[in-house]
Structure 1
Amino acid sequence: MDEIIFRSATIDDLSALVTMLADDALGSVRESADDLGPYRAAFAEIDNDPRQELLVAERHGAVVGTAQLSILPGLARKGAVRAQIEAVRVDRPLRGHGLGSQLIEECVRRAREHGCTLVQLTSHASRVDAHRFYDKLGFEASHVGFKLTLADSSNH
């Protein structure tokens, strides 16, 4: 694979990021690039928070991957700082070519730079291929996750 550049996302990347978020079975019903307004607001909030990093993988000037890295201080584990990886996506034509592994490795590298002692992520129960992928990278399926929907996300 050609050289990949990892960098922080800019507002100019937003359309490409939303398109990748929508390009799978779950995302196609949750996301829509038709109205970028809610995504612009979320991007601004993420961009202004020093504990949040929206990463992009760039190849030949095009955005081909993304992940969000959140730094979470906590009391548990003797005050450990942990990193949460969310919304990992790779452009469809490049899936299965190692870019996802590189993207996760970059997230882990940045987590170490932030002094994190643990990196965690969640993956929807239906994403069996993703579970195998994370397992191969050394992640352990150690917890059962629960969610409580508070509001329809399309309303804000």
Structure 2
Amino acid sequence: MIIREIREDEIEQLTELYFHYTKKENLPEIPKEKIKSIWNEIQKNPCVHYFVIESENQIAASCILSTTPSFIRGGSAYGVIEHVVTDSRFRKRGFAKELLTYSLEYAWNQGCTEVMLLSGFDDTGAHRIYEKLGFDRHERIGFIKFKP
């Protein structure tokens, strides 16, 4: 198992991995030009990190950590983790825990004083993992609004 940032040649594997994360209707096909544009934006932004676990020569799990500079808490940054997903063939091996531990350590080293994580309301198995890592579901209330 290797934890690292994703490479451009793995984007197709990442999009396939997302089928283990969300419904197919949430994954419309993206034209190759747009994929390249998204990749270029990710590469230019030092605050966005797509971390992956490589196992058996493929991407087994991934998440996104975004860090944001802030004028609160003495100018410390904060982090947000999203799209935590493990390929169903690799579940129950502790990959999510390892990936999140790595992401948290990375955030702390970048000067973040807090990291928030968003999760689907009904994913209780994942919630247990998050709480074991110290995430507190009662500390904040999260809201989401989708574009109409």
Given the two structures, how large is their TM-score scaled by the length of structure 2?
0.88
Counterpart of 1:99 in structure 2 is: 95
Residue aligning to 1:139: 135
Correspondence for 1:7 among 4, 9, 12: 4
SS at match of 2:127: helix
Maintained 8 Å contact 1:22/1:29: no
Does residue 1:121 correspond to 2:130, yes or no?
Answer: no
Unaligned runs of 5+ in 2: none
* Identity fraction in percent: 26
Task: Give unpaired runs (5+ residues) of structure 1.
Answer: 152-156
> So what's the TM-score if we normalise by structure 1?
0.84
**1:150 aligned residue:** 147
- 2:76 is matched with 80
What is the number of equivalent residue pairs in this alignment? 146
Aligned counterparts of 1:5 and 1:124: Cα–Cα separation in 2: 26
Amino acid at match of 1:134: Y
Q: Matched residue of 2:112: which SS?
A: coil
- Separation of aligned partners in 2, 1:111 and 1:40: 26
| Alpha-carbon offset, residue 125 of structure 1 | 1.2
2:39 and 2:19 mapped to 1: Cα distance?
Answer: 16
Structure 1 moving runs of 4+ over 6 Å: none
